């Protein structure tokens, strides 16, 4: 009889072990994209091409039209590579392609500075408004694409804890605050973009080499003058979001983030 009483304990121990393993968050084994290379090939390199290869004379001079073609091919090439490797569309490549085409196209069409400045200001304005409207009028707010997404956070685990603790109201408020901060960074970029391009293109003839060089210069200067402040706001928003989620759920930083 003693021997028979010891036997049932083994499955119970095994069951406990399985349950403990199941409680651990799953590790994402998918390959991760390098954000620096993403920005480099979709923003900086095309800007350098437009800025330095648009000249008519010189060792590496391509002229405005050929420089535009080369600048467009760079985000296209990286976008194809990204799709083959990760099996999903690279949003930065799409935006880089559209931006270069519009930027170079308006430059070649001899448009006045104000139209170019409006075009550059329109993109972050549309993004900022889209982020705000998506929060209140759609089931999938864009803040979940830019910030609270499965590439950064362990979303299923966080949402499960929020439900268990009955903190949905606080969670929704946190998402709204993050939405307004994120949209604010794009709206700030709208104003700064317009001021920058009006300053750089003032007095230059559209379609000229000087005009195209100013466009290329404005792209990378804008990344410093406009991109860095916007990134600072984005970083602040991300850290605030993480702090608020930790306060609501009781999870620490390692538990909130997706395991690497």
Give the per-residue pLDDT at 35. 64
- Do 252 and 217 have their domain in common? yes
**Residue 214 lies inside a defined structural domain of this protein:** yes
Distance of alpha carbon 230 from alpha carbon 39, whole angstroms: 14
- Do 119 and 201 have their domain in common? yes
**Residue 103 lies inside a defined structural domain of this protein:** yes
Report angle CA 94, 191, 180 to the nearest 5 degrees.
Answer: 75
pLDDT: which is higher, 67 or 3: 67
- Do 66 and 161 have their domain in common? no
Total of domains in the chain: 2
The answer to whether 64 and 207 have CB atoms below 8 angstroms apart is yes
Question: What is the extent of the structural domain holding 48?
Answer: 32-109
Q: How many residues are present in the chain?
A: 260
- Do 82 and 92 have their domain in common? yes
- Per residue in 118-127, pLDDT (tens digit) is 877 887 888 8
Comparing C-alpha atoms, which of 140, 114, 92, 104 is closest to residue 200?
A: 114
- Do 74 and 140 have their domain in common? no
Q: Which residues contact 210 (CB under 8 A, 6 or more apart)?
A: 204
- Per residue in 107-159, pLDDT (tens digit) is 666 677 788 788 778 878 888 898 899 899 988 888 888 888 888 889 999 99
Quote the pTM value. 0.62
* 164 pLDDT more than 80: yes
Q: How many CA atoms lie within 13 A of 67 on its CB side?
A: 29
């Amino acid at each position: 009889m003693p021997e028979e009483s010891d036997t049932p304990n083994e499955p119970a121990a095994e069951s406990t072990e399985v349950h403990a393993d199941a409680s651990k968050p799953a590790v994402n084994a998918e390959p991760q994209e390098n954000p620096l290379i993403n920005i480099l090939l979709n923003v900086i390199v095309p800007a350098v091409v437009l800025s330095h290869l648009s000249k008519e004379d010189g060792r590496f001079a391509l002229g405005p039209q050929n420089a535009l073609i080369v600048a467009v091919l760079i985000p296209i090439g990286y976008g194809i590579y990204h799709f083959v490797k990760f099996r999903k569309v690279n949003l930065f490549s799409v935006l880089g392609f559209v931006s270069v085409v519009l930027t170079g196209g308006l430059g070649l069409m001899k448009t006045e500075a104000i139209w170019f400045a409006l075009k550059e200001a329109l993109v972050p304005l549309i993004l900022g408004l889209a982020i705000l409207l998506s929060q209140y009028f759609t089931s999938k707010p864009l803040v979940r694409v830019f910030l609270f997404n499965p590439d950064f956070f362990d979303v299923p685990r966080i949402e499960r804890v929020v439900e268990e603790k009955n903190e949905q109201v606080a969670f929704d408020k946190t998402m709204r605050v993050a939405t307004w901060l994120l949209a604010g960074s794009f709206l700030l970029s709208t104003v700064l973009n317009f001021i920058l391009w009006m300053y750089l293109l003032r007095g230059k003839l559209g379609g000229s080499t000087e005009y195209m060089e100013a466009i290329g210069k404005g792209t990378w200067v804008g990344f410093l003058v406009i991109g860095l402040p916007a990134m600072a706001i984005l970083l602040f928003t991300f850290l605030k979001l993480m702090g608020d989620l930790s306060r609501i759920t009781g999870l620490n930083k390692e538990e909130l983030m997706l395991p690497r």
